[in-house]
Amino acid sequence: MSLRINDTAPDFTAETTAGPINFHDWIGDSWAVMFSHPKDFTPVCTTELGAMAGIAPEFEKRNVKIIGISVDPVESHEKWKDDIKAATGHAVDYPMIGDKDLKVAKLYDMLPAEAGDTSEGRTPADNQTVRSVYVIGPDKKIKLVLTYPMTTGRNFFEILRSIDSLQLTAKHQVATPADWKQGEDVIVTAAVSDEEAEKRFGSFERVLPYLRKTRQPAA
């Protein structure tokens, strides 16, 4: 199963460090970030989960829920939390899914069907494709997918930046240019005529026949 942007995020039930959840019910009317890691007690992942814990309030400000996942059991996640806090200074309070039967990893195309049905005996290398980020909207549609290699730690500020863009462009007929940050100029989409752009945004700059920039609309 290959998941693409605008597909409905597959629903599932799972055990987590915060108790059992139904994924769509857990998301509710919020946005959500589900991010996976190959295995507990591994170096890069330890820094990542701590980094995410450190900026969790920024996600909360944006009405975004965070949930982690690996094919380790919940009991392993709970033990690992102590190491994460010791290494990074941040306590992991967001839920972590224990996907020991690989059900969710397969559902989200992180592992192939032939990967088996248990996490027993699996190494981080066996799980290296379990290294993905899914941003999901309140409509339960997939808005963004990122997959990283084993050796490259993720930049969670980039995920925040992407969410800022996704939330802005969901409300207004604009797009965001390369390296855009909150408060910077945005692009008027082709679906908006010049006349309509003036009514909506007050004014715009025509950079090229097909590229118009304007100030970021108020939220």
Catalytic center residues: 45
At residue 14, the 3 state secondary structure works out as: strand
Cβ within 8 Å of residue 73, ≥6 positions away: 98, 100, 119
Query: In 99-122, which positions are buried (b, 16+ CB within 10 angstroms) versus exposed (e)?
Result: bbebbbbbbbbbbeeebeeebeeb
- Count of all residues that appear for the chain in the document: 219
- Residue 25 is encoded by which pair of tokens? 């019910």
Say if strands 205-208 and 186-188 run parallel, antiparallel, or are unpaired: unpaired
Residue 150 amino acid letter: M
Asked if residues 69 and 97 have their Cβ atoms less than 8 Å apart, the reply is yes
